[in-house]
Chain A
Amino acid sequence: MVFMDYFIELLFSGLTRGSIYALIALGYTMVYGIIGLINFAHGEIYMIGAFTAFIVATVLSIYGFPILAIIVIAGVAAAVWSSAYGYTIEKIAYKPLRHAPRLSPLISAIGMSIFLQNYVLLAQTSDFLPFPALIPDFEFMEPVAHIVGSSDLVILITTAIVMMILTYIIKFTRVGKAMRATAQDRTMAMLVGINVNKIISATFIIGSALAAIGGLLIASHIGQINFYIGFIAGIKAFTAAVLGGIGSIPGAVLGSLVLGLTESFATGYVSSDYEDVFAFSLLVLILIFKPSGLLGKAETKKV
């Protein structure tokens, strides 16, 4: 029985961690799916979202807004602000390089990432800042709080909802259809009258808004932010996206959950010293047997 309890605790810990990765991994995978670019600055968008939410939430709490209003306003502000960043980054750093060799936008993305980190470092602070606990402890969760906390629950549910909405957008809306067309063949999409530039911008805006919501929830969950949080979270989320098959929306979520669960169980049953060893061994193993990731489609040469 004790065994079983411990297993369930680790299971939820892994699911929470996986959902955290998923909120960021979705942005990576969407951008890759449309323009085949690994947007390394995505982790920084997440970090900027967290900072924006931090600033807005701090100001609002000074004026005594109720907690729910703070979450909503801070979330919307962070999403809008991060989207503006995502949109601008694409226009400045990626669009001019759209016809360049694949390596050029990649380097440009890494440069953007370093630039944004240092920008926040200089404009804000190098210190760790205490992020307010925006998600209160729900009373009905108290009996199970030792297994799954309120913020865990909110993160799990948010990730699930976000994934469903995204799938709906891509499968059933006009924008989604245009996105899929752009992903399949950009030139052809242009020829049938799709404004490819707008679709790419829309992708960056959606991905950045998701990262910002992730930033708000995750920062509230761990209670602290600094300019560097985007890098480590970004690397892990990127790994998760590759694991699940980069370019695939359900793949990003599945990959994130697999990665989170692996880390959690590796820590719980073996040793946290080897947490990353297990995570990346798994990645290597899966890529050996399924080079395009769990749910990725084998890449066909586009002509």
Chain B
Amino acid sequence: MKLALSGKFVSTAACVMMALSVPAMGVAGDTIKFGVAGPHSGDLASYGLPSVNAAKIVAKQVNDAGGINGKMIELLIEDDVCKPEIATNTATKLASEGAEVVLGHICSGATKAALPIYKDKGILVMSPSATNPALTQSGDYPNFFRTIAPDDAQAEVDVKFALETLGYTKIAVVHDKGDYGKGFAEFAKKFLEESGKAEVVLYEGVTPGAVDYSAIVLKIRKSGAEAVIFGGYHPEASKIVGQMKKKRLKTTFISDDGVKDMTFIKVAGKNAEGAYASGPKDNASNPLSKVAIDAHKATFNSDHGAFYENAYSAMLAMVNAVKKAGSTDLAALKKALQTEKVDTPVGNIYFNEMGDAVGVGFSVYQVQDGKFVEMK
């Protein structure tokens, strides 16, 4: 069953690849091969296809302008359906076809599975979307970079905001016991403890979907917390802020990207006012972001979808690095990425030692009059 499945899959992938890479292959002369890997079919395709579009748009722009130091970009597009076991095949295929740098993969699990293969071949990999903190922080993959902030960056931003901007010293951390919420809460707790400036007066998980959260709300009040940092999604968040209001708590509510959703404001209504939630930085004021989005509209006549700007930025960063390094040698590319700042839709970025983009990240938003307002 498994064999049959992956067989079917590989043939689909091959078709996709052939269909997509024919125009690029037509370019004559010496080329630089950019691999593009991610889910391009299956239920997570909507996360992967925008990156393919970004790669095509940037490649076309660069090639139209004469290529990178005279060499044209050739795209090798491979599907990994977001599955780790398939991502290793994808990586092997890209490496054997001569990909020199890779845009991808999209999902953290698939990225992790594919990275050792690229690492052995000395291939630079840059993901627009893999947010698992360990991918960069473990130090296992010196060839890996990304243009999205890791999961723990959110917790860091929230903690910093609570401690420095709001000046709190007693904080309760509550989560919904899920992977995302608990992961966020664990990082928040870690950063709070490491800061030495604040005390974590409560650390607990609540059961999602429960009919009543008044007991935990009472416990938050008793703990004397000035703020509660909540890891989870908006349905529980709106219940908790509602019950806090009912029990007349003045405690500040700070949460994550899972809460920074208009549904939170719609459901919690007045109770949401004043609550904070972190989310990706707003790129709307960045002119390059508009350029990238307009290019997508002009080329594909549709909205750009998830991680498009991150992928566009990754392509620009890699193109710039190849140009500055003059080769695709990993050490030279790394040096260029870490020293050369580049203007992208997600901001003016460069990369730190570990491979995370500096200048990309989260902002804290506050609910004001039924809208999320970015806190500067």
Please report A residues at the B interface, Cβ cutoff 8 Å.
6, 9-10, 13-14, 16-17, 20-21, 127-130, 145-146, 149, 151-152, 218, 221-224, 226, 228-229, 232-233, 236, 263-264, 267-268, 271-273, 275-276
Q: Which residue of B lies closest to A222 (CB)?
A: B239
Task: Find out whether the CB atom of A272 lies under 8 angstroms from the CB atom of B204.
Answer: yes
Cα distance A16–B221 when bound, in Å?
18
Shortest CB-to-CB span from A159 to chain B, Å, is 13
Q: Give the distance in Å from the alpha carbon of A276 to the alpha carbon of B210 in the complex.
A: 10
Chain A residue numbers with a CB within 8 Å of B216 are 267, 272
A221 to B243, CA, bound (A): 9
A232 and B248 contact, CB distance less than 8 A:
no
Confirm or deny: B266 has a beta carbon within 8 angstroms of a beta carbon on chain A: yes
Tell me whether B66 is interfacial, beta carbon within 8 Å: no
Of residues 146 to 173 in B, which have CB atoms within 8 Å of A's CB atoms?
Answer: none
Cross-interface CB contact of A129 among B219, B243, B267, B271, cutoff 8 Å: B267
Q: A128-B267, A223-B271, A272-B204 are in contact. List 12 more A-B contacts (CB 8 A).
A: A21-B211, A128-B263, A221-B212, A223-B269, A224-B267, A232-B209, A233-B211, A264-B215, A268-B215, A272-B205, A272-B216, A275-B215
- Of the candidates A151, A229, A273, the one whose C-beta lies within 8 Å of that of B177 is A273
Q: Which residues of A contact B243 (CB under 8 A)?
A: 222
Q: For residue A17, which residues in chain B have a CB less than 8 angstroms away from its CB?
A: 211-212, 214-215
For B269, the closest partner residue in chain A by CB is A130
Establish whether residues B218 and A128, one from each chain, have CB atoms under 8 Å apart when the complex forms.
Answer: no
> Which of A128, A236, A272 is B219 in contact with, Cβ under 8 Å?
A272
The verdict on A145 contacting B248 (CB below 8 Å), with A6-B218, A228-B209 known, is yes
B residues near A229, Cβ cutoff 8 Å = 209
- Say yes or no: is B206 at the interface (Cβ < 8 Å to chain A): yes
A236 proximity list for chain B (CB < 8 A):
211
Chain A residues, Cβ within 8 Å of B221: 146
B320-338 CB mask vs A (1 if < 8 Å, else 0) is 0000000000000000000
Contacts of B247 in A (CB 8 A): 145-146, 149
Across the interface, which residues of B come within 8 angstroms of A145, CB to CB? 246-248
Whether A146 touches B248, Cβ cut-off 8 Å, given contacts A13-B212, A224-B239, is yes
B268 near A223 with CB under 8 A, answer yes
Given contacts A20-B211, A222-B242, contact A13 B235 (CB under 8 A): no
The answer to whether A13 and B214 touch across the interface, beta carbons within 8 angstroms, is yes
Q: Which of chain B's residues have a CB closer than 8 A to the CB of A14?
A: 215
Cα separation A229 to B214 with both chains bound (whole Å): 18
Q: How far is the CB of B85 from chain A (nearest CB, A)?
A: 31
Does B376 sit at the interface, judged by CB under 8 A? no
| Pairwise interchain contact A127-B215, C-beta atoms closer than 8 A | no
Q: How far is the CB of A129 from chain B (nearest CB, A)?
A: 7
The dominant DSSP class at the A interface is: helix
* Interface positions of B from 211 to 265, Cβ below 8 Å from A: 211-212, 214-216, 218-219, 221-222, 234-235, 238-239, 242-243, 246-248, 263
- Chain B residue numbers with a CB within 8 Å of A267 are 215-216, 219
Q: Does B207 touch A at the CB level, under 8 Å?
A: yes
Which single residue of chain A is at the shortest CB-CB distance from B217? Answer: A13
Interfacial chain B residues near A6, Cβ < 8 Å: 218, 222
With A146-B247, A151-B246, A223-B268: A272-B218 Cβ-Cβ less than 8 Å: no
- Which residue on chain B has the smallest CB distance to residue A127? B263
Query: B residues within 8 A CB of A264?
Result: 214-215
What residue of chain B has the Cβ atom nearest to residue A129's Cβ? Answer: B267
State whether B267 touches A130 (Cβ < 8 A): yes
The reply to whether B218 and A9 form a contact with Cβ atoms under 8 Å apart is yes
A21 nearest CB across to chain B (Å):
8
Chain B residues lying within 8 Å of A130, measured Cβ to Cβ, are: 266-269
Give Cα A151 to B268, complex, Å: 16
Question: Which of A264, A271, A272 is most buried by chain B, counting CB atoms within 10 A of its CB?
Answer: A272
A224 pairs with B235, CB closer than 8 A: yes
Residues of B within 8 A of A20 (CB): 211-212
Bound-complex Cα distance A91 to B222 (A): 51
Q: Give the Cβ gap from A205 to chain B, nearest Cβ, in Å.
A: 24
In the bound complex, residues from chain B placing their C-beta under 8 Å from that of A272 are 204-207, 215-216, 219
Given contacts A128-B267, A149-B246, A271-B204, contact A16 B212 (CB under 8 A): yes
22 sample A-B contacts, Cβ–Cβ < 8 Å, listed by A number: A17-B215, A20-B212, A129-B267, A130-B266, A130-B267, A146-B247, A146-B248, A218-B211, A222-B242, A224-B235, A224-B239, A226-B235, A236-B211, A268-B215, A268-B218, A271-B204, A272-B204, A272-B215, A275-B206, A275-B207, A275-B210, A276-B207
Q: How far in angstroms is the closest Cβ of chain A from B262?
A: 11
Known A128-B263, A273-B204; contact A232-B218, beta-carbon cutoff 8 A: no
Asked if B210 contacts A232 (CB within 8 A), the reply is yes
Contacts of B212 in A (CB 8 A): 13, 16-17, 20, 221-222
Q: B352 to nearest A CB, angstroms?
A: 35
B238 CB contact (under 8 Å) in A9, A218, A224: A224
Which residues of B have CB within 8 Å of A13? 212, 214-215, 218
- In the complex, chain B residues 127-156 whose Cβ is within 8 Å of any chain A Cβ: none
From B207, B212, B216, B235, residue with most partner A Cβ within 10 Å: B212
Expressed in whole angstroms, the Cα–Cα distance for A225 and B361 within the complex equals 33
Please indicate the chain B residues that have their CB under 8 angstroms from the CB of A273 in the complex: 177, 204-205
Interface contact A263-B215, CB-CB below 8 Å: yes
B207 contacts A16, CB within 8 Å? Answer: no
Instruction: Take A272-B215, A276-B207 as given contacts and tell me if A128 and B248 are in contact as well, using a CB distance cutoff of 8 Å.
Output: no
- Nearest-Cβ distance from residue B88 to partner chain A, whole angstroms: 35
Q: How far is the CA of A236 from the CA of B211 in the complex (A)?
A: 9
